[in-house]
Amino acid sequence: MIEGVLETALYADDLDKAEAFYGGVLGLEIIRRGGNRHIFYRCGSGVLLIFNPDETEKPIENDPFPVPPHGARGPGHACFVVSRDDVDAFAAKLSASGIAIEQQVTWRSGTRSIYFRDPAGNSLEIAPRNLWNP
């Protein structure tokens, strides 16, 4: 019955730095920021949620939308889709913004992934959509 992933979550302790990175450098469209708790971004047909675990691990009480507590620590991972033609341009844009390219991996199919870090240390990747459908 599951048709896909709707929300992908990463954790960051400094949401100001996260907003400068995900909105400013990566260029994602913000949906909304909730104070020091979260920033939500539209990302294609899905949504990227950046959470401050110090806040999301607190149980929500007396609220009409009592989502369960959660909150991870340490570097997570997510991979974003870019078109095959945009991989090099995207890497150049990162470098121009002072974001180091940590690694480039060429898979057996010839598809390339580029790895970098967000300010919280999460390991991010960009790759063409055919990475998993070579």
**Residues of the shown chain interacting with a second copy in the complex, contacts defined by CB under 8 A:** 1-9, 11, 26-28, 31, 42-49, 51, 53, 56-57, 65-83, 86, 89-90, 93, 102-103, 105, 107, 113, 115, 117, 122-123, 125-127, 129, 131-132
Least CB distance to a second copy at residue 107 (A) = 7
Least CB distance to a second copy at residue 68 (A) = 5
Question: From residue 78, how far is each of 11, 40, 61 by CA, in Å?
Answer: 11, 15, 30
CA–CA dist 44, 58 (Å, integer): 30
Least CB distance to a second copy at residue 73 (A) = 5
